[in-house]
Amino acid sequence: MITSGKKYIDIDGYAGIFAYRELLRHLGYQAYAYTSAKTNESVPELIKQFPFTFDQVSFEKPTKYVVLDVSNPDFLEERVKLEDIIEVIDHHTGFEEYWKERGTNHIIEFIGSICTIIFELYEKNHLESTLSEDMCKLLMAGILDNTLNLKSTITTKRDIDCYHKLQKIGKVDERWREEYFEACYGNLENHLEESLKEDIKVEKVSSYLPETIGQIIVLSKDTVWKQLDVVHRVFDVNPSWLLNVICLEDGNSYLFYGGEYKELLEELFGVSEQKQCLTIHPFLLRKQIMKKAREFDQKKTSLN
């Protein structure tokens, strides 16, 4: 069974599950796709119309799991038991030693997209020719979203190379990226509250960050600036929080927050608050923010 995290699933995990299921089936395994998580705005109706669906599965028989796009054991699907996991593939670092000590096969690399790793496994097994146009588009969407149009600082040459190989294999028109981003974020202002709630991570990773960290990607920063009351309505139920608003228009991250974290965040990012938020350029993904804070903590500890 191929699955991901328990709360929400983005396009990277969504695409990765279906692509890895097909790869394993080509290799002769009985592979099934499953999730109980909700998709966020990175999986719009445009994507859901593709001919890929999760399998109707029975859990009465013993089941082995491959887990994609998550390696923190606290965020596994509720029904997934640690002893039943045979493989973990993730691009969120920090738990490599944990899975190594358990003897579980794992690929955990700080790279832009899980879809890049999955495509490389197709290449490794010489199965690129089995990829349909729709599957190529699906994997390309995962890479585009997680690297933010191949422009985020975590984008690697591997991500870029895989994207262009997929484009060539599937004969995908360059307009696909515009269609995808418009489908995801073009109408976000009309359902901002729902979108904010769908991508909140609760995890204590550093003394410099609150436990509740949200992320949203917008075409224009006005989408959020005009609805700050919605942001506070969603997040002020927490004693402290951080929202990373990534703007595709200007390439910035706008960090809104609540609680006593102003000085800590200014120290962490080396910028001062302006107009109710911190502005970071170029933008950072949430996983980069968490990685930066974790490393900042470790550096402070070693100095002391």
Domain ranges of the chain: 2-184, 191-303
Residues near 226 by beta carbon (within 8 Å), at least 6 away in sequence: 189
Write the pLDDT tens digit of every residue in 92-136.
888 999 999 999 999 999 899 999 999 999 999 999 999 999 999
pLDDT of res. 115: 98
Q: Copy the structure tokens of residue 94.
A: 């920090």
Residue 7 confidence (pLDDT): 82
Q: Across residues 19-48, what is the average pLDDT?
A: 95
Above 90 in pLDDT, residue 50? yes
> pLDDT category, 163, cuts 50, 70, 90?
very high
Let me know: does 3 contact 90? Beta carbons within 8 Å: no
Length of the chain: 304
Q: Is the pLDDT of residue 238 over 70?
A: yes
Check pLDDT > 80 for residue 303. no
Strand segments, DSSP code E, in the chain are 2-3, 8-9, 38-39, 65-68, 85-90, 105-108, 200-202, 212-218, 241-247, 253-258, 278-280
Say what the pLDDT of residue 168 is.
98
pLDDT (tens digit, 9 = 90+) per residue, 210-230?
999 999 999 889 999 999 999
| pLDDT > 90: percent of the chain | 79
- Looking at the DSSP assignment, which residues form a beta bridge with residue 200? 214
Residue where the block lists tokens 């395994």: 29
Using pLDDT thresholds of 50, 70 and 90, give the confidence band for residue 270. Answer: very high
pLDDT band at 304 (very low <50, low <70, confident <90, very high): low
Q: How confident is the model at residue 207 (pLDDT cuts 50, 70, 90)?
A: very high
How many helices (H) and strands (E) in the chain? 12, 11
- CATH class for the region spanning 191-303: alpha beta
Q: How far is residue 160's CA from residue 156's CA, in Å, rounded to a whole number?
A: 7
Residue at 281: amino acid letter: H
When the pLDDT of each residue in the chain is averaged and rounded to a whole number, the result is 93
- More confident of the two residues 303 and 46: 46
User: Cα–Cα distances in Å, from 36 out to 17, 47, 155?
Assistant: 13, 18, 29
Say yes or no to pLDDT of 27 above 90.
yes
> pTM for this one?
0.79
Q: pLDDT tens digits, residue range 135-146?
A: 999 999 999 999
Give me the mean pLDDT over the 190-208 stretch. 90
- Residue 59 clears pLDDT 80, i.e. is over it: no
Average pLDDT over residues 280-288: 90
The pLDDT assigned to 57 comes to: 82
Q: Are 43 and 9 in contact (CB under 8 A)?
A: yes
More confident call, 33 vs 185? 33
In this structure, which CATH number among 3.90.1640.10, 2.60.40.2140, 3.30.420.270, 3.40.50.300 belongs to the domain 2-184? 3.90.1640.10
Average pLDDT in the 147-176 region? Answer: 95
